[in-house]
Amino acid sequence: MTGRHELLALTGVTCGYVDEAVLVGVDLTIHDREFVGIVGPSGAGKTTALRVLAGSMHPARGRVARRPGLRMAYVPQVETINWSFPVTVFECVLMARVTGRRLPWASRAERAQVADVLARLDIGDLADRHIRELSGGQQQRVFIARALLGEPQLLLMDEPTSGVDVRLRHEIMHLLDDLNSRGMAIVLTTHDLNGIAAHLPRIVCLNRSVIGDGAPHEVLNADVLERTYGASMQVLEHGGMPVVVDGYRRAHAPHHAESHHA
Amino acid sequence: MIDELLRPFDFEFFRNGLLVATMAGALCGAIGVYVVLKGMSYIGHGLSHALFGGFAASSLLGVNFLLGAGAWGIASALMINTVTRRRVIGSDAAIGVITTASFALGLALFALFGTAGRSFDAALFGSILGVGTDDVIAIFVVSILAFALIFLRYRALLFTTFDPEVADVAGVDTARMDALLTVVLACSILATMQVLGVTLVAAVLVIPAAIARMLTNSFARMLQFATGIGAVCGFVGMNLSYHLDVQSGPTIVLTAATLFAIVFVTTGVTGRRRAAAITARGPVAAR
């Protein structure tokens, strides 16, 4: 991380809902241009961590430091979107322009900006469609478009590939790679260790607190994964990439590739 | 025939009533869009009942109805909003306790001390007979405030209604938006109570918005349609109230319900799918 500037840092963050702490003593720093994946089992606090980073949740203890003037955008899980809400793609994307102009209708410049960002994401011809009338990939792109309209320096995404097929997962990851290569820092949460996390430059293993933090070959090992998921997992290597296999499947598999034990 | 239809316009009380009903329909239609889409229908229903307690207390104490019930309604609205946001106890339970206790208090006060000033029936079911200049002024002022809020904070209200968590991250003060919306809702119910009645105002909040939802997939158009539909239902319903000699609240609600049925049938599967979606709730808890 040498030479990179801090965008956001959590120090000793503890927070949760009502009387239940979901995160305990979390330390996490995000630098500019980083691409970070937060992994962990269900209920580990991945979404909560993202909410704390985004500022929509405040920690009960600990400190959140953001670079002054940091522009962030948050893309929620598609499962949490109310797809029945009467809103067109254009109206949805324009929501990002909530500060500044107060008039309900878009200015000529705003129309051009929305058209530009939709075209960049290959959904330029869908502006007048209702959000539910789109395919899964198009729906995800609409919410990425809304995020991009705010020209964020840090993009926070909650499970951007949950419930999508392999082709769509590749499509979304190519898009995010492209945005990251243009200088945007990205933090996403994912359940997908092999399809997503193993391909990211940095992984944070989370289960209420940070269990491991580093490059995939540093954190994707049996010890860290067992402490994160509370279940036995093995890590194989395929084409130079770590491949995580759960213990149950490995015990019944007829052939084993070379395995790396912590 | 035409003379018969125009005859009520000779009476000032009818002209006042018609003006208030039309404006009340437009106002409730517009506010109802947010009420329906935010899943606040129960709050609207509860608030109208809560206001009845303020109505009874102000009537008993001889305090100006709009001021007494208004203060009561705004206090109830803010209390409901706080409970709903903080989720200390189940919001449905909290709203139920606050609003039905207030309604029961109103009934008890009327039973113990009788009525003074405004009629009990008019408060419950609406009446054009009691509509005076102060009601016209009240609905006019509340309408200006409500439409100014919708116009000037359109983007923030839309974002808060659709996606409050992301709106928060984008810099929208969603708590303030929710509080403003709830206070405007309370004021709207208060200003329309004379013609609609506390028991029926919730229907006028919900039905025009539901009809508009069946007609469009765009939020901006839904807002415009609901406002227009509400105004038409108020106008037609008030005329029917005079000619059929039925209280104004029921005729306005029945006009709206009839229009709902017509649109429901004529828009076919598409309209029905959109109408069914109204009950679909938004954000799901995630960790």
For residue A124, give the 3-state DSSP assignment: helix
The secondary structure element, H or E, covering residue A125 is: none
B112-131 average pLDDT score? 68
Domain boundaries, chain B: 11-277
Angle CA(B203)–CA(B27)–CA(B238) in degrees, nearest 5?
Answer: 65
- Please tell me the predicted confidence (pLDDT) of residue B88: 59
Specify the range with the lowest mean pLDDT, choosing from A9-23, B56-70, B197-211, B244-258. B56-70
- Return mean pLDDT, chain B: 83
Which band of pLDDT confidence, cut at 50, 70 and 90, is reported for residue A211? very high
Specify the range with the lowest mean pLDDT, choosing from A11-25, A208-222, B145-159, B267-281. B267-281
- Please tell me the predicted confidence (pLDDT) of residue A72: 92
Tell me the H-state helices in A55-210: 89-94, 108-120, 136-149, 166-181
Specify the range with the lowest mean pLDDT, choosing from A19-28, A133-142, A153-162, B113-122. B113-122
Partners of residue B224 in chain A, C-beta under 8 Å: none
With CA atoms as reference, the chain A residue closest to B151 would be A104
- Please tell me the predicted confidence (pLDDT) of residue B285: 36
B153-173 average pLDDT score? 92
pLDDT tens for residues A40-79? 998 899 999 999 999 988 899 999 999 998 999 999 988 8
Strand ranges of the sheet holding A209-214, from the earlier edge strand across to the other edge: A72-75, A154-158, A185-190, A35-39, A202-207, A209-214
| Confidence check: pLDDT of B86 > 70 | no
Partners of residue B222 in chain A, C-beta under 8 Å: 86
- Please tell me the predicted confidence (pLDDT) of residue B119: 63
- Please tell me the predicted confidence (pLDDT) of residue B286: 37
Which band of pLDDT confidence, cut at 50, 70 and 90, is reported for residue B73? confident
| Confidence check: pLDDT of A160 > 80 | yes
Partners of residue B151 in chain A, C-beta under 8 Å: 103-104
Chain B CB within 8 Å of residue A99 CB: yes
CA distance A129 to chain B (A): 8
| Confidence check: pLDDT of B230 > 50 | yes
Chain A CB within 8 Å of residue B270 CB: no
All domains in chain A, ordered by first residue: 1-71+153-213 (3.40.50.300), 73-151 (no CATH)
Chain A CB within 8 Å of residue B149 CB: no
| Confidence check: pLDDT of B129 > 80 | no
| Confidence check: pLDDT of B2 > 50 | yes
Specify the range with the lowest mean pLDDT, choosing from A106-120, A211-225, B264-278. B264-278
Pairing of strands A154-158, A185-190: parallel
Which band of pLDDT confidence, cut at 50, 70 and 90, is reported for residue B182? confident
CA distance B279 to chain A (A): 9
Chain B CB within 8 Å of residue A69 CB: no
Which band of pLDDT confidence, cut at 50, 70 and 90, is reported for residue B202? confident
Tokens, residue A225: 């994964």
Specify the range with the lowest mean pLDDT, choosing from A6-20, A89-103, A170-184, B112-126. B112-126
Q: Which position has the token pair 């702490």?
A: A21
CA distance B226 to chain A (A): 13
The residue ranking higher by pLDDT, B147 or B196, is: B147
Which band of pLDDT confidence, cut at 50, 70 and 90, is reported for residue A170? confident
The answer to whether the Cβ–Cβ distance between B158 and A102 falls below 8 Å is no
Specify the range with the lowest mean pLDDT, choosing from A124-133, B76-85, B205-214. B76-85
B87-93 average pLDDT score? 65
Q: 3-state SS string over chain B?
A: CHHHHHHHHHCHHHHHHHHHHHHHHHHHHHHHHHHHHCCCHHHHHHHHHHHHHHHHHHHHHCCCHHHHHHHHHHHHHHHHHHHHHHCCCCHHHHHHHHHHHHHHHHHHHHHHHCCCCCCHHHHHHCCCCCCCHHHHHHHHHHHHHHHHHHHHCHHHHHHHHHCHHHHHHCCCCHHHHHHHHHHHHHHHHHHHHHHHCCCCHHHHHHHHHHHHHHHCCCHHHHHHHHHHHHHHHHHHHHHHHHHHCCCHHHHHHHHHHHHHHHHHHHCHHHHHHHHHHCCCCCCCCCC
Architecture of domain B11-277: Orthogonal Bundle (1.10)
- Tell me the C-alpha distance between B254 and B241, whole Å: 10
